[in-house]
Structures are given as C-alpha cells and as structure tokens.
Amino acid sequence: MFGTNIMPEAYANIPSEVFAGSKAKEKAAAAQKISCHDFDMCKLQYYDPQPIVGARLAHAYVPFQCLCCLYPPLLGLKQGTIFPELDRPYGADPAYSYDG
C-alpha cells in the first residue's frame, strides 16, 4: 500500500521472516521481547545514525531513527521518551545547556 514511497531506512528492523510466510508471525512474536538493557549503547545512535544517501541540494534531512532498546514504561514517562537515543536531557551536557 505504501509502494515505493518510503525511504529505505524506514524498512529497518523488518525481520526477514516478514517476507517468508505464515510461520513468520509466530516466530516474530516469540522473538519480540526487548531484553536489551544497554541504554548507553543505544544512546550512541544519536551520534552515528543511519547515513543519508542521495541527499539533494536545497533539501533538509533528518536521519531516520532505528529502534534500539526501550526504557521501561515508568522510566520512559519520567524521562519524556521511551527511546534512549532520543533522550537528550537539559543540563546533562554543560555545552548543550546554553544560557547566554
């Protein structure tokens, strides 16, 4: 239904089982528990996201996000996001907390 209109990076995280047939659903369901707790690794994606291929002049680009770990719900609510790579708190990085 989306055809060719979606950027290739948006296909990230599709398990190959999606294209494999009916057993894929059970396999995918079983494998979907996020057990990764390495939030620091995920945060590195902020500095090194998917490269932007085929950029044109006079266009603005924001790199696509790839799903990594997720914060547990209560921590996510407190931080303001469930994605560690998008967690950019104010005041944590002195260079970022600009106050002229």
Partner 1 sequence: MHDAREKMLREIQALEFMEVELNLYLNTHPYDQQALMIFMNTARQQKMLRDNYERMYGPLTASSSNSFPWPWIESPWPWEA
Partner 2 sequence: MWVYEKKLQYPVKIKNCNPRLAKYIITQYGGPDGELAASLRYLSQRYSMPTEVAKATLNDIGTEELAHLEIVGTIVYQLTKGVPPQILEKEGLGGYYADHDRGIYPVNGDGVPFTAAYIGVKGDPIADLVEDLAAEQKARATYEGLINMTDDPDVIDPLRFLREREVVHFQRFGEALRIVQEKLNERPFYVKKPDYAKEKPLSNVSPAANIGPGSNVGPASNVSPAANVGPMTNVGPFSNVSPAAGKKK
70 binds, among partner 1, partner 2, none (CB under 5 to 8 A by kind): partner 1
Measured CA to CA, the distance from residue 81 to residue 69 in angstroms comes to 12
94 binds, among partner 1, partner 2, none (CB under 5 to 8 A by kind): none
Work out whether the CA dihedral 16, 21, 23, 25 comes out positive or negative.
positive
- Residue 83's Cβ-count burial label (10 Å; 0-12, 13-18, 19+) is buried
Measured CA to CA, the distance from residue 41 to residue 47 in angstroms comes to 11
**Which of the stretches 23-31, 36-44, 56-64, 66-74 binds partner 2 when contact is defined by CB under 8 A?**
56-64
Nearest-approach distance from CB 48 to partner 2, in angstroms: 15
Rule CB under 8 A: say whether 19 interacts with partner 2: no
Per CB under 8 A, residues contacting partner 2 are 2, 4-7, 10, 56, 59-65, 77-81, 83, 86-91, 97-99
